[in-house]
A = this chain, B = another copy of it.
C-alpha cells in the first residue's frame, strides 16, 4: 500500500514524480478553471441517508456495462499519453484493469496502435474515438478498433474544438518535447467540428460495436442519443478541460437519467474521489462511474501497481459504502438514499 489516502495527498505525491509540464497538462482545466474544482465539490452536495436494518452479508459490487461484467462499478476514463505519468503507460493501465476486472477506455491520444494495447491482455476494453471531419478517416479508426477486438466505441462529443487551456498548455513547445522525450510520437489530433447527430448516427451504422457518447450534460442530448444509435452516454465535462463553468456532472446526472428514461445506460465522470461518490452516482441513476485523474496520479506514483492499488481501494471503499448504506446490489441502489444538500 503506497498510495496516500486523501485525494489531495495523492495528487501532491504524483506531482513530485512528474515533470512540471506533464503535471500541468493533466491537472489543468480550461478558461478560468472553475470546473476542475467544482467537479469534485459538487458530489458533497448530495447528502447520503443510509438505510439500516439490512442484511449486508452478501454484497454484489459488480455490475455490467453494455453487457460486459466489471468487478466494481468503476472503470477508467480515456486519458491521453499515459506514459507522461509513468513508463508503464497504457500497457500498465491495461494490465491493472485486467487484473482487477474492469474496463480501460483507451484514449486515441496515444502513439500506441490500438492493436498493440489490445494484445496486452485478454480483458474486454473499449476504444475512445475522436471523430475526424473526414468521415473516411473516422470510419477507418472505428473499423480498426473493431478488428482489434475492442468491445465498444466511446465517441467523445464534447470536443468540436480543444477547450482553451491557458495553464495546461502554456508552453506548448515544451509539451511536445516532453512527449518526444517519452518517445511518444503523438498522432495529429483532429477535432471534428461537423460531428452532428446525422454523422453520429452514420458512424454507429458502420460498426457492430455499441456506441457510447462521452460528454453529455444537457438532458435534450440524452433524449436524442438513443434515437441516433447510441447505447449509452457518459455525463462528463471532460474533467473541466472543455466548457469551463459547465454544470458539474454530479449535478447534471439526475436530469440526464430522467431524460434517458431507461432506453440507454448512463455513466458519469468528473470529480469522483471516494467510494461514497460512487454510491451517490449509482443512487442518482448512473450504472457506473469513470475516473480519470486519480488513476493518472496512481500511475505516476507506482506504475501498474499503483493503478491496481487504486482499483482495490475503490472496491474496498465502495463495498464499505454499500454496507453502510444498507445496499447489497450495485445494480439496484435505492434512489431515496441521496438527498440534495440545501
20 A-B residue pairs with Cβ-Cβ distance under 8 Å, sorted by A, are A5-B170, A31-B274, A31-B276, A47-B247, A49-B217, A52-B158, A52-B213, A53-B157, A55-B193, A55-B199, A56-B193, A57-B194, A158-B324, A160-B324, A163-B324, A164-B317, A242-B324, A244-B274, A245-B276, A247-B339
Residue in B56, B220, B274 whose CB lies within 8 Å of A160: B56
In whole Å, how far is A226's beta carbon from the nearest beta carbon of chain B?
13
A52, A200, A317 pick with most chain B CB within 10 angstroms: A52
Once the chains bind, are A337 and B218 in contact (CB under 8 Å)? yes
Q: Determine if A303 is an interface residue (Cβ-Cβ < 8 Å).
A: no
Count residues of A near B (Cβ-Cβ below 8 Å).
72
Once the chains bind, are A5 and B167 in contact (CB under 8 Å)? yes
Q: Determine if A89 is an interface residue (Cβ-Cβ < 8 Å).
A: no
Residue in B49, B166, B275, B326 whose CB lies within 8 Å of A252: B49
In whole Å, how far is A278's beta carbon from the nearest beta carbon of chain B?
11
Restricting to A159-186, which residues have a CB under 8 Å from any CB of B?
160-161, 163-164, 166-167, 170
Q: Determine if A206 is an interface residue (Cβ-Cβ < 8 Å).
A: no
Q: Which residues of B contact A200 (CB under 8 A)?
A: 53
Once the chains bind, are A50 and B316 in contact (CB under 8 Å)? no
Once the chains bind, are A53 and B245 in contact (CB under 8 Å)? no
Once the chains bind, are B48 and A243 in contact (CB under 8 Å)? yes
Once the chains bind, are B166 and A51 in contact (CB under 8 Å)? no
Q: How far is the CA of A50 from the CA of B323 in the complex (A)?
A: 37
Once the chains bind, are A32 and B7 in contact (CB under 8 Å)? yes
Residue in B34, B166, B221, B276 whose CB lies within 8 Å of A5: B166
Restricting to A283-316, which residues have a CB under 8 Å from any CB of B?
316
Q: How far is the CA of A196 from the CA of B56 in the complex (A)?
A: 8
